[in-house]
Amino acid sequence: MNTSFDGKTALVTGAGSGIGRATAQAYARAGASVVLADLDEAAAQAAADELTSQGHRAIAVRCDVSDETDVAAMVAQTVSAFGRLDMAFNGAGLHVPVTETADALAEDFDLAIAVNLRGVWNCMKHELRQMRQQRSGAIVNCSSQSGIVGTAGLGAYTASKHGVIGLTKSAALEYAPLGIQINVVCPGTTDTPMVQKAVADAPEHMDTIIKEIPTGRLGRAEEIASAVVWLSSPGAAFMVGQAVVPDGGYTVR
């Protein structure tokens, strides 16, 4: 695959860490100017500084994706810095504690939905206002293998990630006639700070997780980023509302 994003602008949420950071790097290496947005402003700035020190064009923006005002400002800053918005990876997300449904907390349910689902809705809404004017663009939302199958103890997270696939399919149908491509990536368990934090209290869980992955290893953030870059590229122009699942085979067992 020879993808060139020269002259194009990419926006990445959750770009301070893990999959988002790897995706921002991949967009930059393909030639795009990149806006790195994250709740953790220092992490976004460090990731942007790394790219600019390598000769890429990048800026950092603080944004809480669950706050529509922040999201509108993030898109406005992108257009003000680079003049347009060609690609967006809506990667910001979080895990909530593993709990059986009868004991789950309403606050955790609300947080998972606010960030993982409403956050993607907020981002798509404002990204599409710009892309609709341009009559071009590509959006890749971030779901999960938990958007495809259920996971015991992860009801709120699973609901949020199933919802992202529904949002993606509906928006993709609305904007396909304009040539705006919208798809969703559903990573399997990937070696990022989110996963390291999730198993920090019980490291033995990692062995169980790995045993359930047919490849016998966790995914790498770069492997998810390469799927996102392809879904953002002209090579994927005939993909409409599709879920691409780089999960080491977890969901095909």
Count of other CB atoms within 10 angstroms of residue 203? 9
Q: Which residue numbers are catalytic? A: 157
Total residues contacting ligand NAP by CB under 6 A comes to 30
Q: Given candidates 3, 8, 9, 13, which one binds ligand NAP under the rule CB under 6 A?
A: 13
Q: How far is the CB of 171 from ligand NAP (least distance, A)?
A: 17
Identified binder of ligand NAP from the candidate list 48, 61, 63, 88, rule CB under 6 A: 63
Written as one string, the DSSP assignment of the chain is: -----TT-EEEEETTTSHHHHHHHHHHHHTT-EEEEEESSHHHHHHHHHHHHHTT--EEEEE--TT-HHHHHHHHHHHHHHHS---EEEE----------GGG--HHHHHHHIIIIIIHHHHHHHHHHHHHHHHT-EEEEEE--GGGTS--TT-HHHHHHHHHHHHHHHHHHHHHGGGTEEEEEE---SB-SHHHHHHTTT-TTHHHHHHHTSTTSS-B-HHHHHHHHHHHHSGGGTT--SPEE--STTGGG-
Residue from 189, 232, 233, 242 in contact with ligand NAP (CB under 6 A):
189
> Measured from the CB of residue 150, what is the shortest distance to ligand NAP in angstroms?
14
User: Is residue 225 part of the contact set for ligand NAP (CB under 6 A)?
Assistant: no
Q: Does 199 bind ligand NAP (CB under 6 A)?
A: no
State yes or no: residue 71 binds ligand NAP (CB under 6 A): no
By CB under 6 A, residue 92 contacts ligand NAP: yes
Q: Pattern of binders to ligand NAP over 134-163, x per CB under 6 A?
A: --------x-x-------------------
Residue with smaller CB distance to ligand NAP, 142 or 231:
142
From the list 50-58, 88-96, 102-110, 123-131, the region that binds ligand NAP by CB under 6 A is 88-96
Q: How far is CA 199 from the centre of its chain?
A: 21
234 binds ligand NAP (CB under 6 A): no
Task: Using CB under 6 A, list all residues that contact ligand NAP.
Answer: 13-14, 16-20, 38-40, 43, 63-66, 91-94, 115, 119, 142, 144, 187, 189-190, 192-195
